[in-house]
Structure 1
């Protein structure tokens, strides 16, 4: 049993074969998924997909790249949607210093507002971090995000930061890069993260794991991620799968379904 904690089945890349993609994931033993919505277009579809499948859930938030587009009305909308029975987290949110669409001060403001919202509705958060680790950490501390906790999504930082995020009540989620031959950081982290704080994801359709690197990613491939982590930790794949699924169910406060 596997849980893909971060997938974008609401992306245009799945428009023509979304249901077939979902069935392939179920057939591969991926029993649970969280579809992440991050703007006006992807949020409604994330919820729609979750409503159509018993073990698929949604997260709703605003991506930092598009922070400049978010209005107060959008924030109110996310708050309203947080009460939906299939919505299990707020996000993805955070900081992205790779792209320059949204100024950094705007990104930080939108990030703070979403943390405050998550605390108001008592839901965990999903963090997007690209080239902004120190600022992310500072904001999480200033806004007391440890009160609700969250996920460091598709973690790709050094192992030295792991304990600091764990101390702030965060889980570490690893995706396709842990399988890349030249990616040392996620491999180091895969071994260092305490087993009870480890999650797996695809971030599909992005970051497909080896041997599918460069192709469209899909949730069935989270098995490849879990297999690689089990190999690195020198533990049985079944045990790794069961533990990470248990972690995700507890994190998202989801009752296990047979």
Structure 2
């Protein structure tokens, strides 16, 4: 069985897919995906996202504000109140993205620090987005004791040195469909070096559909294609890869594990 550790079900353009949300989830079930983590990118949109997936026992949720979606200042009190809700299994996604919006570095850093503080306060893991901000991401994680909360660097595309620094802080590394892209040679080399017991798989749906679905709207069912690519690079069977990454997910997101057991 597989887990999609990071998707955005509320951002699926279902009309483009020609599917209902229930059909999307059925597609995932048919490909042996037993659980999904629907990740928040906006505090304003979080309540609607949580309500959308509430009927589905196989879906957990996070709460946070993506660095490219935040306002000038993250409302830390609102973040803490929403993230404290029992259905929230993680804080984020948060982090730093200097590729798309370098002019907002300071406000991004402020928001990231606030998310780290809330995650430590609530003892819930962090979901971290990082792009073109290697040094600042790791420095803020160290300075503000992000390791106390733990978490994952999602949709990882950076170098081995950054991955190793995150692993040393107790974090996991999650790999998306980017790994299957022809020009992702460096990323595949990084994955080859990383310990299997610290890796997760994700779709980041509706974005970044893996080969052979590239160019289509991504959906959680395609996480098995990410898994197949990772298994090939790690020289393990697909069954071993599925078992270990699923175990890793539940070890990190303990509230998702509890929800699964209660279902």
- Asked if Structure 1 and Structure 2 have the same fold, meaning a TM-score greater than 0.5 normalized by the shorter chain, the answer is yes
Distance apart, 1:66 and its partner CA: 2.5
Measured in 1, the distance between the counterparts of 2:20 and 2:43 equals 22
Distance apart, 1:19 and its partner CA: 1.7
Question: Are 1:52 and 2:55 matched, yes or no?
Answer: yes
User: What is the CA deviation profile of residues 37-80 of structure 1, one whole-angstrom value per residue up to 9, with x for unaligned ones?
Assistant: 111443123322442111210011011112334443xx322212
Look up the match of 1:233: 234
Distance apart, 1:102 and its partner CA: 6.0
Look up the match of 2:93: 92
Measured in 2, the distance between the counterparts of 1:242 and 1:102 equals 42
Look up the match of 2:39: 36
* Structure 1: runs of 5 or more not aligned: none
Check conservation: 2:2, 2:243, Cα contact below 8 A. Answer: yes
Measured in 1, the distance between the counterparts of 2:186 and 2:13 equals 28
Look up the match of 1:81: 82
Check conservation: 2:64, 2:83, Cα contact below 8 A. Answer: no
Distance apart, 1:148 and its partner CA: 1.0
Check conservation: 1:93, 1:126, Cα contact below 8 A. Answer: yes
> How much is the aligned-residue C-alpha RMSD, in angstroms?
1.7
Greater shift in the superposed pair: 169-178 or 156-165: 156-165
Measured in 1, the distance between the counterparts of 2:251 and 2:207 equals 26
Look up the match of 2:109: 108
TM-score by length of 1: 0.94
Look up the match of 1:7: 7
Measured in 1, the distance between the counterparts of 2:230 and 2:241 equals 8
SS at match of 1:162: helix
Look up the match of 1:176: 177
The aligned length equals 256
SS at match of 1:156: coil
Look up the match of 2:124: 123
Alignment of 1:207-226 (within 5 A): 207-226=208-227
Greater shift in the superposed pair: 248-257 or 110-119: 248-257
Measured in 2, the distance between the counterparts of 1:37 and 1:171 equals 19
* Structure 2: runs of 5 or more not aligned: none
Measured in 2, the distance between the counterparts of 1:229 and 1:200 equals 9
Check conservation: 2:65, 2:74, Cα contact below 8 A. Answer: no
Look up the match of 2:134: 133
Alignment of 1:136-175 (within 5 A): 136-175=137-176
Question: Are 1:62 and 2:65 matched, yes or no?
Answer: yes
The match for 2:29 among 26, 41, 44 is 26
SS at match of 1:92: strand
Runs of 4+ aligned residues of structure 1 deviating over 4 Å after TM superposition are: none
Measured in 1, the distance between the counterparts of 2:12 and 2:72 equals 20
